[in-house]
Chains A and B, each alone.
Chain A
Amino acid sequence: MQFLVLTHFDFFTSLFFSLADLVYMRVSLSIFSQVCLVILLGLTIVFFKSENYFDRQQLLAEMPKDNSDLLEKKEFELRVVKAQLEEVKSETLAVLEKEGTLSVNSLALQNLRSQLRSPASIPQLDMSLLEAEKIKKAFRDKNYFEVTELAEDFLDKNSQSVMVPEVSFFASESYFLNKQYDKAIGSIEKMTNQFPDHIMTGYALLRLGQISEKADQVAEAITIYKIIKSQFKDKGLVDEATLRIARIEE
């Protein structure tokens, strides 16, 4: 192909230069010869164009055809089959229940029910408690990096869980113990915004005060402890905050 292109190119350039020679070197030519040369030039251009055209046509023919319609049909067939399967399950369940063939607590009946999620109003099982328990265990085992990874994942997936304040607390504590103070502060700030009256936020604020103390921001630390004293009613928290203020002021 490369050879062919080069050959065509050579031929075309030589023809062009010959014509230029004829014109610029004022070689006298008959009108018939000039017409012949122009026709020859035209034919050459047409040849190049048509060759590209046929190449493109061949390329298009070789390209895979648009199968979107076929795919749509297949997808639809799959959906119909799935719907039919669900219907069969549903009808089987109805017959089994009606005839009392299987006992109410039998495993087969329960499996069928759970597959059909019957009745439909039963909400999905909340697995967030189990995940929160894993985080607690990792914290007790002092695997703080694992805690932060698990907690981030948990908070991404379970924003509505009742365990969010507790998991956020474990995350902030683990960041602190990993000496990732910036992340710890960010996590505590989130808690103060989202759960301002939760006891875990109080404990997290104690930690924030400690971080301020470490950074020699004593005044800020005292303010945080005073906030804890005024905002939280838990006696343990208030006592701890009072103790820390007294210790700083000594």
Chain B
Amino acid sequence: MAYVEFPKSCITAVDSICHFGTVKRISTYTEDNLHIYLGKDTLLRKEKGTIEWVYGPVLFAVSSKSVVSYKKNSITLQKGKYLFFGSESSLKVEVLEGHFKLGKFQVTEGFQATFVGSENNISLEPLQAIDLKEHLVRYVNVKGLNKSKAKEYLEEFGPKHKNYLAWAEELNQNLIKRSIAHEQRVLELERDAKERARVAQEKRKIDFFNKVFER
């Protein structure tokens, strides 16, 4: 056990707010359905049984649906693996397996999500595919893998990553198509409105001339 607790031995206490994390060593922590790998320089908070991510690289290996939080916002993690990292002001999550939900946002496997904001006011920056090189460095450091284990992981993750790139490309294409369709729809509505205004104007003119003629 290389993680540090504050106050002392608070992690098992039920009704206290407990901060735990690492400074210069990596560590692990297991609880119910959650196995947590703590990289160097991390801080987590446990309050009323819920673990809140504060900062630092942390890998959550979830065996069945679990809830963690970020700035009091609940994050529902389905069975899978999620690598959290970033500073206090922004949370970044790489979804290695499964999918998770934070408020109205849902992120699936292969994507990296960045959340910015405060309590009840979280925004999601554009999704991107997990960056292979950066991910490998981060993953190896968090789990403290040796050279051969790291190589094994690369062999396992490499082929999956190709799919992720394809998925991200597909997602972007869909978003572009949707955006074009939305703009076209807006243009159509504008055109319809103009047409209706023109017809109404014509009608007013005709009415006016009719009135004048009748007179």
Contacts and interface: CB of A to CB of B under 8 A. Distances in A.
Contacts of A117: 89
B174 interface: no
B155 interface: no
A14 interface: no
A81 to B, nearest CB: 9
B43 A119 contact: no
B53 to A, nearest CB: 11
What's the dominant secondary structure at chain B's contact region? Answer: strand
Contacts of B19: 76, 80, 83
Interface in B101-122: 116-119
A90 B118 contact: yes
A83 B117 CA distance: 16
B24 A72 contact: yes
Interface in A116-159: 116-121
Given A83-B43, A117-B89, A120-B89, A76 B116 contact: no
Given A76-B4, A80-B19, A120 B43 contact: no
Interface string B17-31: 001010111000000
Interface string A56-77: 0000000000000000110111
A86 B87 CA distance: 12
B147 to A, nearest CB: 26
Contacts of A77: 6
The 5 closest A-B pairs by CB, nearest first: A120-B89, A76-B4, A80-B19, A72-B23, A120-B116
Interface of B: 4, 6, 19, 21, 23-25, 43, 54-55, 71, 88-90, 116-119, 125
